[in-house]
Structure 1
Amino acid sequence: MSRFTARRLARRIPQLLIGLFLYGFGIALMIRGVIGAAPWDVLSQGIATHLPLTFGTITIIVSGIVLLMWLPLRQRLGIGTVLNALLVGPSADIGFLVIPETDILWLRVLLFALGLTVLAAATGLYIGAHFGPGPRDGLMTGLHRVTGRPIWLVRTALEVTVVAIGWLLGGNVGVGTVAFALLVGPMCQFFMRVFEVRLPVPPAAEPDDDLRSDAIKG
């Protein structure tokens, strides 16, 4: 391993871990806002209302189920994929422990806005580290590759489905859900440019990273 590559790796690993922790913390901030959650979080919320498990534990279970759906799509796991599945949920649970609930509307809006910003920055951090897509992004890109459908259509179909199921189970759908859908793409795209680690050789063997960037962009 060259000294240049070692320096890049010394940055990429902490960037991945910090990004995944902040991603879960951003989820907790948005949910504490109680004005609507992101689509997959609506699903986890809904399931959590019926099981004696924490939101973070439900998130890990859902991630595991999504990874099983990768098998027929022949998607390849990366270390970032596995760590995403294992760490985002627990970091969200930590967020719930330290972020208080509030009935004050402007504070709830502020919590949601802060959470969305933190989540977008966290996305830029862990995608920019180039360790593989998260479970849900990999499912989107895999379905796009196998079906040939536009990635925006695959993403929309998946998120509408999980929102509908989560809402029927008791998840929180609101104006925040709509705001997330409209704003997360441009915000993530901005932070991806800020935090991307320039690799010495383009990872041509990992096409899902480019597809994932397209998925975030919408």
Structure 2
Amino acid sequence: MKIFYTRLLRLIWGLFLYSLGIVVTLNAHIGYAPWEVFHVGLAKTTGISIGTASIMTGVVIGLIAVLLGEKIGLGTILNMVLIGVFLDMIIGFQIIPVLNNFPLGIMMLIIGLFIITLASYFYIGSAFGAGPRDSLMVALTRITGLPIGVCRGIIELLAVFIGWRLGGMLGIGTILSAFLIGFCVQVTFKLLKFDATEVEHETLDRTYKMLFRNKKEQPDDEEMPGNY
């Protein structure tokens, strides 16, 4: 159980960092990140809220990832819920300044992207199941054999294009994010010697069985999934 709670803390920490990274990119004030462009465009087209658009997008992408062979776990579900909670908390505390300087905005945007990719390292590595978008990224990497950064970049560019066609707002930061996120993923994962495709994710049913079966039936630490 100690290993389980360590992994759970790693997951929650990763989701918090992800939210922090999003706020940093937003407060760079040079354009929405790719997925925010998509969420805003979808919300405008359908008349739903941006939050609802984000949840619906996550569910659809999660289903696609499952069809491509990825596993859905506790981390996938918490990704959809906690990122929004942490976003509201960080924005509410106003701890990240909003910039109105373009050169500094670019630097802040890049820092935010690296925070997001570091967050991905933590919560994907917890092995509770990657978030919907990261599950799709990993699935495409496994299927196509392309570098993980390239697959991430392709997904982000598609999100930007579709979101823009639906009426989402574009900015210089949007274009930079779409092109740089793949590079940031590639560099961060390489420096940390982390291969997201080798992580054996724990499914929801396996997590349930591990938590509620008898203590004597629990697996040894070495049998626990994950990449530490």
Structure-1-length-normalised TM-score: 0.70
Q: 1:74 to 1:117 in 2, by over 3 A?
A: closer
Deviation at 1:18, TM superposition (A): 1.4
Does residue 159 (structure 1) correspond to residue 160 (structure 2)? The answer is: no
Q: Which of 110, 113, 119 is the matching residue for 2:110? A: 113
After TM superposition, the structure 1 = structure 2 runs for residues 57-96 of structure 1, keeping only pairs within 5 Å, are 57-70=52-65, 72-73=67-68, 75-96=70-91
Deviation at 1:19, TM superposition (A): 0.9
Give CA-to-partner distance per residue, 1:1-29, whole Å, 9 cap, x none: xxxxx332231111111111220221121
Q: 1:64 to 1:30 in 2, by over 3 A?
A: same
Q: Conserved in 1, the CA contact under 8 Å of 2:38 and 2:159?
A: yes
Give CA-to-partner distance per residue, 1:153-186, whole Å, 9 cap, x none: 7555433321211223223323343222322321
1:127 aligned partner, one-letter code: I
**SS at 1:174 equivalent:** helix
1:184 aligned partner, one-letter code: V
Q: Conserved in 2, the CA contact under 8 Å of 1:36 and 1:175?
A: no
Q: 1:132 to 1:188 in 2, by over 3 A?
A: same
Does residue 200 (structure 1) correspond to residue 222 (structure 2)? The answer is: yes
Measured in 1, the distance between the counterparts of 2:6 and 2:52 equals: 29
1:171 aligned partner, one-letter code: M
Measured in 2, the distance between the counterparts of 1:103 and 1:48 equals: 27
Q: Conserved in 1, the CA contact under 8 Å of 2:66 and 2:72?
A: no
In structure 2, the residue matched to 1:41 is 36
**SS at 1:34 equivalent:** coil
Deviation at 1:135, TM superposition (A): 0.8
Measured in 2, the distance between the counterparts of 1:154 and 1:179 equals: 12
Q: Conserved in 1, the CA contact under 8 Å of 2:153 and 2:181?
A: no
Measured in 1, the distance between the counterparts of 2:140 and 2:42 equals: 24
In structure 1, the residue matched to 2:122 is 125
**SS at 1:40 equivalent:** helix
**SS at 2:5 equivalent:** helix
Measured in 2, the distance between the counterparts of 1:86 and 1:106 equals: 33
Q: Which of 98, 102, 105 is the matching residue for 1:101? A: 98
In structure 2, the residue matched to 1:187 is 188
Deviation at 1:124, TM superposition (A): 1.7
Aligned-residue Cα RMSD (Å) equals 3.2
Measured in 2, the distance between the counterparts of 1:33 and 1:192 equals: 29
Q: Bigger radius of gyration, 1 or 2?
A: 2
In structure 2, the residue matched to 1:170 is 168
In structure 2, the residue matched to 1:215 is none
In structure 2, the residue matched to 1:212 is none
Farther-moved stretch of structure 1 (34-43 vs 78-87):
34-43
Measured in 1, the distance between the counterparts of 2:68 and 2:180 equals: 31
Structure-2-length-normalised TM-score: 0.68
Q: 1:155 to 1:45 in 2, by over 3 A?
A: same
2:186 aligned partner, one-letter code: G
Measured in 2, the distance between the counterparts of 1:170 and 1:79 equals: 31
